[in-house]
Amino acid sequence: MTDATPGTPTNAAGSALLREPAHQVSPRAVAMWRMIAVSELVGAVAVLVVVWLLVPSHPWWLVVLVVVVLLPLVAIAIWQPGIRNRIHRWEVTPGAVHTRSGWISTQQRIAPLSRVQTVDTRQGPLMRLYGLAAVTITTASAAGAVEIQGLDADVAARVVAELTEITSADEGDAT
């Protein structure tokens, strides 16, 4: 006998596997992440140029420093936004909010809607420039709030409305 319902993927022991959240972040989030990575690269280059100009003899270790600092930043600027886009996923179901995030170490969070205390949106200047928003779901959990980043602003508004409707129908106290 297995714990899974028919059609649910199972592992070798027959236990149900956790499926991935259904939705990806907005494609505009990739552009924003790329712009952030490139701006960090430009900042690092500016600092290294200043160091280069302040050290008159240009010792060998300065060249090593430039390579050690710049190569990882270039790699991050090229690959990180696409990798993040493939990994960051989210879903709101009638019973829970499920998120997966991170690109070096990933984190999955499932927050039962019966535990939701507040739902907030955040939209900083850069997010506003790209038409994006983040939704933060605060729960009665020691693990902290669940955040869905990189949503289109209108999708974020719909998610907040949906969560408000679902959680207001529950007469529990979310503790």
Q: Give the whole-angstrom CA distance, residue 159 versus residue 157.
A: 5
Residues forming a β-bridge with 91: 98
pLDDT, residue 12, reads 54
Q: What is the pLDDT of residues 116-142, one digit of tens each?
A: 889 999 999 999 999 999 999 998 877
Other residues' Cβ atoms within 10 Å of the Cβ of residue 121: 16
pLDDT, residue 102, reads 83
- pLDDT tens track of the chain, all 175 residues? 344 444 444 555 554 456 788 899 999 999 999 999 899 889 988 988 888 888 778 788 878 877 888 888 888 888 888 888 888 999 998 888 999 988 778 889 888 888 888 999 999 999 999 999 999 999 887 778 899 999 999 999 999 999 988 887 766 555 5
Q: Which residues of 83-101 are buried (b: 16+ CB within 10 A; e: fewer)?
A: ebbebbbbbbeeebbbbbb
Query: Residues 6 or more apart from 39 whose CB is under 8 A from it?
Result: none
pLDDT, residue 8, reads 47
| Cα Rg of the chain (Å, integer) | 21
pLDDT, residue 15, reads 47
